[in-house]
Structure 1
Amino acid sequence: MLALSLGVTPACSEGSKKMHTTVQLSLWQLIDQLGAQQPIRREPVEHLLHTTLARTESSNEYFTFWSNGDGAPIALDDGTRIERIVLRTSNEGDARGALTLTLSGRCIRRDDVKGRFAGMRIAGAPSGRSPNEETTFRSETAWGELVFGFAERNPDCLSSVGFGEKTK
């Protein structure tokens, strides 16, 4: 009963024994809510996505990296799935955090993203070494920056969303 009141539905992945969570938000609603929760920190991300992030071995004296590791995907209301979460937080109080969500599920077309985030500019292009390399586009927001990635394996479908805080 508690899970339903929080807008969370536990379910089992098809062909897998891993439980996944359904968050009652669309990708666009999730982007808005994550953007409103600045600075980017672990606890608010965990709360919003109903998951637990673990510190990774990539952490160093400057940054702590957090990930959902091999955890089950998080399904959103609109058919989008979050396969991987990577969060970078600073070990110095005033430095900015960053969050990347790796997506699957329904195809969110490049034109749909451009329609919502006018003024996107190309930020990076693949080198041709892997079908997982992305063409990335940046969009400035009131709270910081969004980076949208489109992998070469399916270049018209959104494969990742990155969140960065506004430069001080």
Structure 2
Amino acid sequence: MFSLTIWFAGCGSTTGQYEKDSRTTQSSRTLWQAIDTLTQQAPFTTDKIENVLATHLVVKDNSKSPIQNTAFQFYTGRPVNLADDVVISNVDLRIRYRAGHPGFLVLNLSGSCITLDMVRAHYRSLRVTDRPSGRSLDEVTSYTTSLHWGDLSFSFKERNPNCLSSLAFDPKPIETDNMAK
């Protein structure tokens, strides 16, 4: 739930450089290939995400916020068309300013509809980790699977509950003792 709270806290409009350069890039990967490759990239870095998704990440401009976020550095990327007509409409990478944090990645999706049954065909062990409270059509029902590297969450908005709206990659923290070795 903490990861989803972090994700929702930063879901405002994108500003700055991203708006100036909103060209869509093309990837030869399908959504499922992109997920498989991204799960192997933890700890996340901008270079790793840029290489996998064929996009350029920029520091998200937080200057309009009255309070500067001192916990995370936020990066965003332009839309990416995947080979299966799924579009990553926004890449949101967050890297914490403390050692041992592997980063947190959210991909907002559009284009071809990915259903819950399609998700279950790839990830059978799903549990509900978030439910809408009825306050907004943008609230989500999230289904999470725990894998050896961390948690992968699939979210479906109330606005369109049959189609996947976003993915969240929440890798396990890196043990700081092992980083020094």
Q: If the TM-score is normalised by the length of the shorter chain, which range does it land in?
A: 0.7 to 0.9
Give secondary structure in 1 for the equivalent of 2:51: helix
Give secondary structure in 2 for the equivalent of 1:158: coil
Match of 2:45 in 1: 41
2:123 is the counterpart of 1:117: yes
Displacement over 6 Å in runs of 4+:
none
CA distance in 1, matches of 2:100, 2:27: 31
TM-score (norm 2): 0.77
CA distance in 2, matches of 1:21, 1:54: 15
Give secondary structure in 2 for the equivalent of 1:19: coil
Match of 2:170 in 1: 164
Deviations 1:44-76 (A, max 9, x none): 0011112121212176322111112xx3x2100
Match of 1:6 in 2: none
Match of 2:74 in 1: 65
8 A Cα contact 2:44 2:104, kept in partner: yes
Higher helix proportion (structure 1 or 2)? 2
Report matched runs for 1:9-158 at 5 Å. 19-56=23-60, 57=62, 60-68=69-77, 71=78, 73-158=79-164
Give secondary structure in 2 for the equivalent of 1:47: helix
Deviations 1:20-49 (A, max 9, x none): 211000000000000011112211001111
Amino acid at match of 1:62: A
Structure 2: 5+ residue runs without aligned partners? 1-20, 176-181
Higher strand proportion (structure 1 or 2)? 1
Deviations 1:94-148 (A, max 9, x none): 1231000000001111111012111100000112222121100110112111010
CA distance in 2, matches of 1:20, 1:114: 29
Question: Percent identical across equivalent pairs?
Answer: 38
Distance 1:96 1:37, change over 3 A: closer
